[in-house]
Chain A
């Protein structure tokens, strides 16, 4: 397992990469078939006066131009389409001198074939593409232990940095890990925990899920806890944010309220930063949150003896909070 270190950029791992981040237009919620759909609905921006790149959220059409903290749920109907996205994602990681890894089910030799398309697989200056078969790691139907899994990626990220890479980038075909409800319950907790880790560490991931095998409802359950996903998979996305405890984009209404309630409860059950009795949600790109969604926030806040601070420019949220006389939800303008 000897790996040669890639040349360092600017001497400090990660830094040069961050300054390369591009700024794209923000999507303002063109979810759902209103025609068009060509422009990526990504919320990405740069913080004024610093080089810290803000991670992207929303929906994307391609796996290109993703940064060192990005976390994508790539739901696909056609496996070839996933493979193409995976190759794009890992190729850019290698170009940015990240250690890259591909994980999927099946024979390792076959998986190596999937990454053949990567420029210079054996390019020693960039290190090899690590390939891992899920069959070697998990038993079928095995439930992933969230803590152990996060610890493993933390160690792998630190190893990548110690070896001179700018970070770790993983593309995983994770369909076998979410087949049963028990697996999914554990996986949702894990996904959010790893999402929190990724906010502050140079670990990026693209998780592939087969919609035909899992069904629309299941992929929505998974997609809605990723900051980035493909259009029209999840009605909303609730994820770790570097600006607040949580980020929220998309729409919550009568058709998505059950999923929102469950997801919110899962996410709130995890440890939070700050923990000052306030849970902040960066909702600057939220398109719609109805009274059911606000009531869900109120209930969850009550359960945790906390106040939920929703930072959104939506005038409707303030209006509804006043009308419903919600005491545990406060609406503020985005900071």
Chain B
């Protein structure tokens, strides 16, 4: 049994709304969460801290709503998908007919690069397709850039209007096509410098050694370097197995991060959302990029006329309260 706008719907019900004031946010979110609690449906809030506080104040602490810390729920897209799946599968196993979640998907207005999260919005329709989830993504038009709003409008099959009406979204488009048509993620500023390492047609072993050496020379934490090394090994293995030579690896190190690009002359994976889907079938491949998405701070896939590039970024954990600077947003 599912209640509310998703009643009678099968699988993931993915809905967005645009708001321009705190009152508008509350008018959208409060009925969503109180309706969920009233229906006995597990209900989660993963809004940015400020919005979360507003909702908490409106519904009260003892509302039965689960508030998730935004920073840990939205660290990187592949982990967010994995976490939502785990939690929702748990609720379903415990007998839930529907789970409700409202979350602020990160964008430059919230201090995060959009490319990764645009791919997330495109991926969730498929990645969560089988779950009885009503996922609600409210976007703040005061902070979200236009390019974000334009993508959001095409990536949600359902919308809530300012008047609170739930409608089918006539502008919804095939998420895979939307993802494929987006501009490529912008390079990291550090790529303007000459690389610390450049390898032509490396074996995965040579790539691992080279990247490990650069990471150690830059004195990045061992765990950060180790994570990147796993991802680099997989990217090179993919280039050798699926790409076309020559394969060129470049690596850069900055005080707080390392960036590695692996480029080949092939056309890249057919699926622009590869790596974000739940644990892929080993026989069908894709596990390498899935692992890269899990362990790297950011993964950028760039397809151009000359070939395919995977950009892997590993950030050192922020020291104290200072968060590492984000690269320039895409587009």
B-binding residues in A (CB < 8 A): 31-34, 235, 251, 253-255, 288, 290-291, 295, 314-316, 319-320, 323-325
Contacts and interface: CB of A to CB of B under 8 A. Distances in A.
Contact of A254 (B204, B209, B223, B279): B204
B226 A316 contact: yes
11 contacts: A31-B205, A32-B206, A254-B204, A255-B205, A290-B230, A291-B234, A291-B288, A316-B227, A320-B230, A320-B291, A325-B279
A255 B223 contact: no
B237 interface: yes
B237 A253 contact: yes
B315 interface: no
A325 to B, nearest CB: 7
A288 B233 contact: yes
B282 interface: yes
B287 interface: yes
B209 A32 contact: yes
Contacts of B222: 315
A34 B227 CA distance: 22
B294 interface: yes
B241 interface: yes
Contacts of B204: 253-255
A32 B203 contact: yes
A292 B121 CA distance: 30
Contacts of B209: 32, 34
Contact of A253 (B205, B282, B291): B205
B205 A251 contact: yes
A15 B230 CA distance: 44
Contacts of B262: none
B58 to A, nearest CB: 37
Interface string B207-219: 0110000000000
A291 B206 contact: no
Contacts of B237: 253-254, 290
A291 B227 contact: no
Interface string B79-106: 0000000000000000000000000000
B15 to A, nearest CB: 30
Interface centre among B209, B234, B240 (most CB of A within 10 A): B209
B229 interface: yes
**Chain A interface secondary structure, helix, strand, loop or mixed?**
loop
Contacts of B205: 31-32, 235, 251, 253, 255, 288
B279 A316 contact: no
Interface in B177-228: 203-206, 208-209, 222-223, 226-227
A319 B230 contact: yes
Contacts of A33: 206
Contacts of A316: 226-227, 229-230
A314 B222 CA distance: 10
Contacts of A320: 230, 291
Q: How large is the interface on B (under 10, 10 to 19, 20 to 34, 35 or more residues)?
A: 20 to 34
B290 to A, nearest CB: 8
Given A290-B230, A314-B226, A315-B222, A255 B203 contact: yes
Interface centre among B204, B230, B291 (most CB of A within 10 A): B230
Contacts of B112: none
B295 interface: yes
Given A253-B204, A314-B226, A315-B226, 9 more contacts: A255-B205, A288-B205, A288-B229, A290-B234, A291-B234, A291-B288, A315-B222, A316-B227, A323-B294
Nearest to A295: B282
A306 B263 CA distance: 41
Contacts of B203: 32, 255
A325 B226 CA distance: 19
Contact of A319 (B233, B282, B287, B295): B295
Most chain B C-beta atoms within 10 Å of own C-beta, residue among A33, A323, A324: A323
B101 to A, nearest CB: 22
Contact of B233 (A235, A253, A315): A253
Contacts of A235: 205
Contacts of B295: 319, 323
Nearest to A33: B206
A143 B241 CA distance: 37
Contacts of A32: 203, 205-206, 209
Q: Which 8 pairs, one residue from A and one from B, show the smallest C-beta to C-beta distance?
A: A254-B237, A253-B204, A316-B226, A32-B205, A315-B226, A316-B230, A323-B294, A315-B223
A324 B282 CA distance: 11
A291 B287 contact: yes
A324 to B, nearest CB: 7
Contacts of A325: 279
Interface string B237-266: 100110000000000000000000000000
A251 B237 CA distance: 14
A34 B229 CA distance: 17
Q: Which residue, B205, B206, B230, B241, has most C-beta atoms of chain A within 10 A?
A: B205
A77 to B, nearest CB: 21
A288 B225 CA distance: 13
A255 to B, nearest CB: 6
A333 B240 CA distance: 33
Contacts of B223: 315
Interface in B130-162: none
Interface in B257-313: 279, 282, 287-288, 291, 294-295
A290 B287 CA distance: 11
A315 B227 CA distance: 9
A253 to B, nearest CB: 5
Nearest to A322: B294
A314 B229 CA distance: 12
Contacts of B229: 288, 316
A315 B230 CA distance: 11
Contacts of B241: 254
Contacts of B287: 291
Contacts of A254: 204, 237, 240-241
